[in-house]
Amino acid sequence: MVQTDSFADDTVTDRFHLPLMAILPALLATSGCISMAPDSAGPGIAAEVPASFPGADQAGVYDPAGWWTAFEDPVLNRLLNEALDRNLDIAEARARLQAAEAQARISKSGLFPQLNASLGSSYSDSPLAGTGFGAGGNVGTQRLEVETYTSGLAFSYELDLWGKLRNEARAGRADAFAAAADLQAARLAVLAETITSYFDLVDARHQIVLTTRIIDVLGDRVEQTENRYQRGLVSSFELYQVRQDFRNIQASLPQRESQLAAIEGQLAVLVGRYSNNMDELLRAGLAPKLIFTDIPAGLPIDLLAQRPDVRAAGQRMEAARFTVGARKADQFPALSLSASTGTQSGTPSGVFDVMDKWVLSLGANLTAPLFQGGRIRAGIAVADAQYAQQTAVYARSVLNAYQEVGTAIERYEEERQRYRFLFSQLGEAKAAADLQSRRFGTGVGNYVDYLDALRAQYQVQSQLSSAGRDVALARLAVHRALGGSWDQPAPESRETIGDKSSGTPDPASRGDE
């Protein structure tokens, strides 16, 4: 009879376990294969973008690394390297990336089983069960003291039948990729701002030198006009006009010096220094090269994908898409498996008696949402709206990027043309000043005409200095719009400020020597 009962119990147990063991491999195999995330809108947005950018003369290949070295200025390179190492905006973006990567690991952890260990003890002291009275009607004093010691391992695992956990992990990973792109965007912005400030600094120093020279010329001009006025050769109106020009240019010098100090302060912030510690970096002569190479014709639209802001927007769109899939999976049942084992004893040493005192518990839990007050549907609606929002952001970023590249290329061409015109004008101004110098030396001309010609030359040099800065910044705008640079098949047509072999003069160089 005992044997029969034992056989019956084993049969019931086998009947319970066999179906579960039969379907468990199938459940594990299909876990995560289903994804309720919608199709990505990225390919459709990219398909609408033109295949190339208009303008320029030759083909090129993208190369984002070290594009700023084309300016061939060791001072600028040192500033940029220090900015990449010390800039606080980059440090902030780097910390955000670290947080996003950690959050991605948290999102991914749901895909794996959870295993926990426990070790505990408890103590209870209670009176014995009964009337509470001892012999002879006295109140009983017997009590029950119990000490319990336990140890255990608990295992749990949620089967990802509908792709919820996998979509959440993918969303976390996409957010981390977006944060990485944000870091690259911060680096690019800091590089661009540092280069801009550097060329502003170069131009500001040139302008101060040229303004000082114009002040000297106008000082001589005032003196000559006063002498001629005393001899009755010029009117008082002309004298007042010359004096007014002299005072105006004198008044501009403090303003230019103030602008120079502000630029140096801005540059110090970009490289993570205080302004009084910048002399070491800026003590050397500043002579960046101007780059006049053509922009490659028909730059492939794939270059837009290198822009970090476009990449970040695309990854956030993908994160929102995966979140939609995770929220849709909330509508369906969730199946989780659990198992626990351990020991229980009345003595501390007994918890390690695994052979005699161990316990085992196995379980499976199926949970299906029946009524949530509209929470699940509202969550899906929120996810859908956020995905639509991020899709619009991504489409706008692609559109803006394309327009910015076209605008930057056009501006670069215009600034190059303007620089060439001013360069030709400077040659004519120098020729006029040289002619007046020779005329004055031979007694044919007068000193006033020479001073006027020299002043005109300095004014053109001032315009050329600003034009050189504008060419560099226009070139920088192309690099920034593309998120970097490209390989040129032949690095030609480069001209250098202050390099006589290039034919491009230093805008602050003297033309009267």
Residues 459-487 have pLDDT tens digits of 999 999 999 999 999 999 988 888 876 55
Q: Is the pLDDT of residue 168 over 90?
A: yes
The predicted-structure confidence for 353-383, as pLDDT tens digits, reads as follows 666 667 888 999 999 999 989 999 999 999 9
Separation CA 298–CA 27 (nearest Å) = 52
pLDDT of residue 146: 80
Separation CA 131–CA 133 (nearest Å) = 5
Q: Which residue has the higher pLDDT, 122 or 212?
A: 212
In the three-class reduction of DSSP (H, G, I as helix; E, B as strand; rest coil), residue 489 is classed as: coil
Mark out the alpha helices in 271-337 (DSSP H runs): 279-282, 308-329
pLDDT of residue 351: 64
* Choice among 93-107, 124-138, 205-219 with the minimum mean pLDDT: 124-138
120 close to 149: Cβ distance less than 8 angstroms: yes
Number of Cα atoms under 13 Å in the Cβ half of residue 293? 22
Q: What confidence tier does 509 reach under pLDDT thresholds 50, 70, 90?
A: low
pLDDT of residue 321: 95
Q: Is the pLDDT of residue 106 over 80?
A: yes
Token output for 292 = 């006049």
Q: How much is the mean pLDDT over the chain?
A: 81
Mark out the alpha helices in 31-160 (DSSP H runs): 42-47, 74-86, 88-109
pLDDT of residue 174: 95
b (16+ CB within 10 A) / e for 477-498: bbbbbbbbbbebeeeeebbbbb
Q: What confidence tier does 52 reach under pLDDT thresholds 50, 70, 90?
A: low
Nearest-5° Cα angle at 25, 21 to 29: 160
Average pLDDT over residues 98-111: 94
Q: Which of 236, 281, 189 is nearest to 480 (CA)?
A: 189
pLDDT of residue 60: 43
pLDDT of residue 12: 35
* Choice among 2-11, 110-119, 178-187 with the minimum mean pLDDT: 2-11
Q: What confidence tier does 30 reach under pLDDT thresholds 50, 70, 90?
A: low
Separation CA 86–CA 269 (nearest Å) = 10
187 close to 90: Cβ distance less than 8 angstroms: yes
Average pLDDT over residues 448-458: 91
pLDDT of residue 465: 94
Q: Is the pLDDT of residue 66 over 80?
A: no
435 close to 463: Cβ distance less than 8 angstroms: no
* Choice among 162-166, 228-232, 503-507 with the minimum mean pLDDT: 503-507
Q: Which residue has the tokens 């327009």?
A: 403
Task: Give how far the C-alpha of residue 414 lies from the chain's centroid of Cα atoms, to the nearest Å.
Answer: 29
Phi, psi dihedral angles at 111 (to 5 degrees)? -75, -15
> If residue 125 lies in a helix (H) or strand (E), which one and from where to where?
strand 114-127
Q: What confidence tier does 282 reach under pLDDT thresholds 50, 70, 90?
A: confident
> If residue 158 lies in a helix (H) or strand (E), which one and from where to where?
strand 143-159
pLDDT of residue 350: 66
Which domains does the chain show, CATH number per domain? 33-113+171-332+375-502 (1.20.1600.10)
Q: Which residue has the higher pLDDT, 329 or 124?
A: 329
Token output for 34 = 């289903």
The predicted-structure confidence for 141-154, as pLDDT tens digits, reads as follows 677 888 888 888 89
Q: Is the pLDDT of residue 260 over 70?
A: yes
Q: Which of 220, 228, 211, 261 is nearest to 466 (CA)?
A: 211
Token output for 318 = 């993908």
Token output for 56 = 């320029």
pLDDT of residue 278: 80
C-alpha dist (Å) from residue 505 to 275, 427, 492: 30, 10, 18
Average pLDDT over residues 148-172: 91
pLDDT of residue 50: 60
Rounded to two decimals, what is the model's pTM?
A: 0.78
Q: Is the dihedral of CA 16, 21, 22, 25 positive or negative?
A: positive
Separation CA 249–CA 251 (nearest Å) = 5
364 close to 27: Cβ distance less than 8 angstroms: no
Separation CA 151–CA 121 (nearest Å) = 9
Separation CA 343–CA 243 (nearest Å) = 103
pLDDT of residue 49: 62
Separation CA 185–CA 189 (nearest Å) = 6
